[in-house]
């Protein structure tokens, strides 16, 4: 079953690793920048495995970084999407601003360059997301507060955003572009005498005018430290309160995506399924837990309880199915934005999945680098054999009504770009974009659902197909109808004149949705398989979901619409006849259920009512 799910999970990882934002991997002289400290890219080094990443405050372009290994030193700048790339055994990457002559430098800090054993999600391989919190050491420590360092780095970078007071604006497409003229103003912090004619041919000495100790100053002291630069740039510098609000939104953007169980064997049995394992008198679990975390921090999803009665071992092939209850479902209280993860990645409150067998409480675990792991061994396998495992980082759940407790592992199975390319979003997409999804089985249409893709990158329902404006916070539309979050746009890109959106959709179990559609997942596919995306063709105004393969030469989606439509799976129909598997053998009942519940997903644009 886990293989089937994996086939559905989208493969635009290749696209993102090939290039974030509007460019490829980190390019020298991005945006026309020339600088004495820009000397080499990772891809120019011979025999080196490069690990890619993105620097996100908003996306920060033209930020200098340096990393090295035995093969050479990388000194380059982030691309238009904040992308960078380092040798996989660099150890760390340093981020800084520097003037053209290489004499005046602002040191922002360093981040670890790590390659994990897990090749899924953002760890493909060791894909890095660096934020001001990372430079301040708050990600690894699980800090529940923002330090002066992370707040002042955020404020400082937004000082270089040419949009007035941009720190107060939360947008998935904003880019802070560090221009050469702006970086030349760094000399106003500490003017340095030009070298004499006798030494003009040699590299001038480098002076660090701001370091990590300066960024750790309190707000008033840091303001005094940079007041000359603020005056020279003629832009306001945001407050620490504004930086805190913006970092909250940044965390939501960097954590957005679909989380699921890795699906390894449960206990000593040969059952291969994605689920959490627990025990009281016998093996018990709940199956296929999926949680979607959207760009606003809302969480929603579902799972299925299953109480196994195979006497401590499910290896017996005569056990063709599990005894399962109805699906569990969770929704944000009141549908207002809230964060299921705290600033440090801990579960903010106990997350409850209510169902007919009782409520499953997820009470422990911390998200770190896209995982919440169930055992110390798994934790150290993913994050390093020498790391100390905090107990609170490990997953734990209880089903009190069944006296059941156990452990769980969650992994982000989708790669969601924290920011979207501003050259495409929203300039090439009319937002909100209202579409009608049609779900077809092998012989008939089983259901339709109106959806709206919002300017904030989230996807919500349009239940009455009125195309009414939706409040992005409350999700109540202009007609007074409560809409529901169902997904996110993972990335946007263009190819051969058409615009493509990569959607990740999960339809939770709520009374507002048709039963036939509940539990459907659309979107991400295994990296070796297909790419599910929505094509927007401006010439013919066609809107269609496709699941095309990738062009082996360019790693870009095939541009035509002649290949397969997107595939969807309805767990609501599958799980009542959930089958145990032994090795590669799947029961006939499970295979028949899979065939019945699998179909094509099409989307057509309909004219909105006046």
CB 411 within 8 A of CB 262: yes
For 199-208, 316-325, 448-457, 597-606, which range has the lowest pLDDT when averaged over its residues? 316-325
- Identify whether 426 is preceded by a cis peptide bond (ω within 30 of 0): yes
Contact residues for 563 (Cβ-Cβ < 8 A; gap 6+): 546, 547, 548, 549
Q: Is the pLDDT of residue 563 over 50?
A: yes
Tens-digit pLDDT profile for residues 244-263: 999 999 999 999 988 888 75
- First-to-final CA distance of the chain: 45
Which among 467, 498, 481 is positioned nearest to 606, based on CA atoms?
467
Task: Mark whether 233 and 296 lie in a shared domain.
Answer: no
**How many structural domains does the chain have?**
3
Task: Mark whether 379 and 437 lie in a shared domain.
Answer: no
Residue 282 belongs to a domain: yes
Task: Mark whether 456 and 596 lie in a shared domain.
Answer: yes
Contact residues for 297 (Cβ-Cβ < 8 A; gap 6+): 252, 337, 338, 339, 340
Task: Mark whether 442 and 483 lie in a shared domain.
Answer: yes
Residue 9 belongs to a domain: no
pLDDT of residue 340: 77
* Higher per-residue pLDDT: 353 or 67: 67
- Identify whether 432 is preceded by a cis peptide bond (ω within 30 of 0): yes
Residue 451 belongs to a domain: yes
What is the C-alpha to C-alpha distance for residues 575 and 324, in angstroms, rounded to an integer? 7
Residue 195 belongs to a domain: no
Task: Mark whether 247 and 337 lie in a shared domain.
Answer: no
CB 459 within 8 A of CB 296: no
Residue 264 belongs to a domain: yes
Neighbours of 24 (CB within 10 A): 16
Task: Mark whether 306 and 250 lie in a shared domain.
Answer: no
| Confidence label for 529 from pLDDT (cuts 50, 70 and 90) | very low
Q: Report the SS3 class of residue 398.
A: strand
Tens-digit pLDDT profile for residues 382-408: 787 788 888 888 988 888 887 878 888
CB 253 within 8 A of CB 488: no
Burial zone of 167 (CB within 10 Å; 0-12 exposed, 13-18 middle, 19+ buried): buried
Q: For residue 547, how far is the Cα from the chain centroid?
A: 21
Region for residue 596 given its phi and psi (left: phi exceeds 0; alpha: psi -120 to 50; beta: otherwise): alpha
Task: Mark whether 286 and 317 lie in a shared domain.
Answer: yes
Task: Mark whether 251 and 283 lie in a shared domain.
Answer: no
Contact residues for 111 (Cβ-Cβ < 8 A; gap 6+): 92, 93, 95, 128, 130, 134, 135
* Higher per-residue pLDDT: 229 or 42: 229
Q: Is the pLDDT of residue 379 over 70?
A: yes
Task: Mark whether 288 and 247 lie in a shared domain.
Answer: no
| Confidence label for 124 from pLDDT (cuts 50, 70 and 90) | very low
Q: Is the pLDDT of residue 203 over 50?
A: no
Task: Mark whether 172 and 26 lie in a shared domain.
Answer: yes
- DSSP secondary structure letters along 74-132: EEEE--TTSEEEEETT-EEEEEEEE-TTS-EEEEEEEEEE---S--SGGGTTS-EEE-H
What is the C-alpha to C-alpha distance for residues 482 and 462, in angstroms, rounded to an integer? 9
Task: Mark whether 512 and 470 lie in a shared domain.
Answer: yes
- DSSP secondary structure letters along 119-181: -SGGGTTS-EEE-HHHHTTHHHHT-SS--HHHHHHHHHHHTT-SSTTGGG---TT-EEE--HH
Contact residues for 610 (Cβ-Cβ < 8 A; gap 6+): none
Q: Please identify, among 223, 240, 255, the residue that sits at the C-terminal boundary of a domain.
A: 255
Backbone φ and ψ for 259, nearest 5 degrees, come out as -110, 135
Among the ranges 155-169, 221-235, 248-262, which has the highest mean pLDDT value?
221-235
What does pTM read for this prediction?
Answer: 0.85
Mean pLDDT of the chain: 75
What is the C-alpha to C-alpha distance for residues 436 and 338, in angstroms, rounded to an integer? 28
pLDDT of residue 605: 65
Residue 583 belongs to a domain: yes
Q: Is the pLDDT of residue 591 over 60?
A: no
Residue 421 belongs to a domain: no
Task: Mark whether 270 and 282 lie in a shared domain.
Answer: yes
Q: Please identify, among 379, 412, 445, the residue that sits at the C-terminal boundary of a domain.
A: 412
| Confidence label for 274 from pLDDT (cuts 50, 70 and 90) | low
CB 105 within 8 A of CB 208: yes
Residue 458 belongs to a domain: yes
CB 182 within 8 A of CB 60: no
Q: What domain range includes position 584? A: 433-604
Which among 141, 367, 362 is positioned nearest to 256, based on CA atoms?
367
What is the C-alpha to C-alpha distance for residues 9 and 207, in angstroms, rounded to an integer? 48
pLDDT of residue 460: 95
Which among 297, 164, 189 is positioned nearest to 242, based on CA atoms?
164
Q: Is the pLDDT of residue 282 over 80?
A: no
Which among 488, 416, 424, 427 is positioned nearest to 456, based on CA atoms?
488
Q: Please identify, among 412, 444, 462, the residue that sits at the C-terminal boundary of a domain.
A: 412
């Amino acid at each position: 079953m886990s293989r089937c799910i994996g086939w559905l999970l989208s493969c635009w990882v290749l696209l993102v690793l090939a290039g974030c934002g509007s460019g490829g991997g980190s390019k020298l002289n991005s945006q026309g920048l020339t600088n004495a400290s820009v000397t080499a890219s990772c891809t120019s080094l011979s025999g080196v495995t490069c690990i890619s990443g993105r620097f996100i405050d908003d996306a920060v372009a033209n930020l200098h970084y340096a990393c090295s290994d035995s093969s050479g030193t990388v000194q380059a700048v982030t691309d238009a999407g904040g992308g960078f790339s380092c040798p996989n055994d660099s150890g760390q990457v340093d981020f800084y601003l520097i003037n053209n002559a290489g004499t005046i430098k602002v040191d922002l800090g360093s981040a670890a360059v790590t390659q994990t054993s897990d090749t899924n999600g953002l760890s493909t391989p060791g894909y890095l997301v660096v934020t001001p919190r990372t430079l301040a050491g708050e990600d690894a420590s699980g800090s529940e507060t923002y330090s002066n360092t992370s707040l002042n780095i955020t404020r400082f970078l937004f000082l270089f955003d040419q949009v007035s007071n941009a720190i107060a604006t939360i947008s998935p497409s904003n880019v802070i572009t560090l221009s050469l003229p702006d970086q030349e103003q760094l000399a106003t912090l500490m003017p340095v005498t030009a070298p004499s004619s006798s030494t003009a041919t040699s590299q001038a000495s480098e002076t660090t005018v701001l370091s990590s100790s300066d960024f750790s100053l309190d707000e008033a002291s840091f303001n005094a430290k940079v007041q000359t630069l603020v005056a020279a740039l003629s832009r306001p510098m945001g407050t620490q309160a504004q930086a805190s609000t913006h970092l909250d939104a940044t965390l939501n953007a960097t954590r957005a995506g679909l989380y699921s169980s890795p699906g390894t064997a449960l206990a000593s049995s040969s059952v291969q399924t994605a689920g959490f394992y627990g025990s009281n008198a016998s093996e018990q679990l709940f199956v296929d837990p999926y949680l979607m975390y959207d760009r606003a921090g809302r969480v929603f999803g579902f799972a299925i309880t299953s109480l196994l009665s195979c006497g401590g071992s499910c290896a017996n092939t005569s056990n063709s199915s599990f005894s399962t209850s109805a699906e569990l479902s969770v929704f944000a209280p009141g549908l207002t934005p809230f964060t299921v993860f705290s600033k440090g990645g801990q579960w903010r409150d106990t997350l409850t999945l209510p169902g007919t067998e009782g409520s499953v409480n997820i009470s422990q675990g911390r998200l770190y680098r896209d995982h919440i792991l169930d055992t110390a061994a798994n934790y150290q396998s993913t994050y390093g054999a020498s790391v100390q495992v905090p107990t609170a980082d490990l997953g734990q759940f209880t089903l009190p009504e069944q006296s059941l407790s156990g452990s769980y592992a969650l992994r982000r199975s989708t790669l969601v770009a924290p920011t979207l390319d501003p050259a495409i979003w929203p300039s090439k997409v009319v937002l909100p974009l209202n579409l009608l999804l049609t779900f077809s089985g092998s012989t008939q249409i089983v259901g339709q659902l109106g959806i709206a893709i919002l300017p904030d990158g989230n996807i919500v329902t349009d239940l009455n197909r009125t195309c009414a404006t939706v409040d992005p916070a409350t999700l109540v539309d202009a007609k007074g109808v409560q809409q529901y979050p169902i997904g996110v746009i993972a990335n946007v890109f263009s190819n051969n004149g058409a615009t493509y959106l990569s959607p990740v959709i999960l339809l939770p179990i709520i009374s507002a949705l048709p039963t036939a559609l509940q539990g459907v997942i659309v979107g991400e596919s295994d990296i070796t398989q297909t790419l599910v995306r929505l094509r927007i063709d401006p010439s013919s105004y066609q809107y269609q979901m496709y699941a095309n393969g990738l062009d082996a030469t360019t790693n870009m989606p095939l541009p035509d619409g002649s290949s397969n439509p997107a595939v969807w799976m309805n767990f609501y129909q599958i799980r009542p006849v959930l089958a145990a598997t032994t090795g590669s053998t799947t029961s006939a009942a499970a295979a028949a259920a899979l065939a019945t519940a699998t179909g094509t997903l099409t989307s057509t644009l309909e004219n909105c009512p006046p």
